[in-house]
Amino acid sequence: MSGALLREIVERYVRSIQEMEKNAVREEVVGDLIRSQVRRCLLEMQDSGAQADDIRAVFDNLEHRSSEGFSSTEPKASRLLAVMKLHVEFLLFSEERPKPNSSAATKEGDGFDSL
């Protein structure tokens, strides 16, 4: 899996989240919008062939780059990034945990898009 392709996908969604930052600054609720964008991002990465470890690596790098992408004067920006990363971990955990009927074939609706 190409790290450059994954970074490109994530950067596109980070720009979208940056736009949401403006709404958060105006005290608008953006949590559901962020979760929706994260889910879409993960689906696109998964469709590109990314594995969970690849996805985690890309999102871990976001933490190190947060000061570049978000305005350093706004604490809400880093909070948005933290929410984004937490939702990534939740979705990956949900996808990786053993299913109650793990011997059965994967059912329709399993995966990131069912959360």
Residue 106 scores a pLDDT above 70: no
Residue in this structure with the two tokens 């996805």, named with its chain if needed: 55
- DSSP SS3 for 15: helix
76 Cβ contact partners less than 8 Å away, ≥ 6 residues apart = 21, 24, 25
- What pLDDT score was predicted for residue 61? 77
- Taking only the tens place, the pLDDT of each residue in 10-34 is 888 888 877 877 776 677 677 678 7
| pTM for the full predicted model | 0.67
For residue 73, the model assigns a pLDDT of 45
Residue 112: pLDDT band by 50, 70, 90 thresholds? low
Helix 3-25, helix 31-47: angle, nearest 10: 170
Write the pLDDT tens digit of every residue in 35-87. 888 899 999 999 999 999 988 888 887 766 655 555 544 566 667 677 778 88
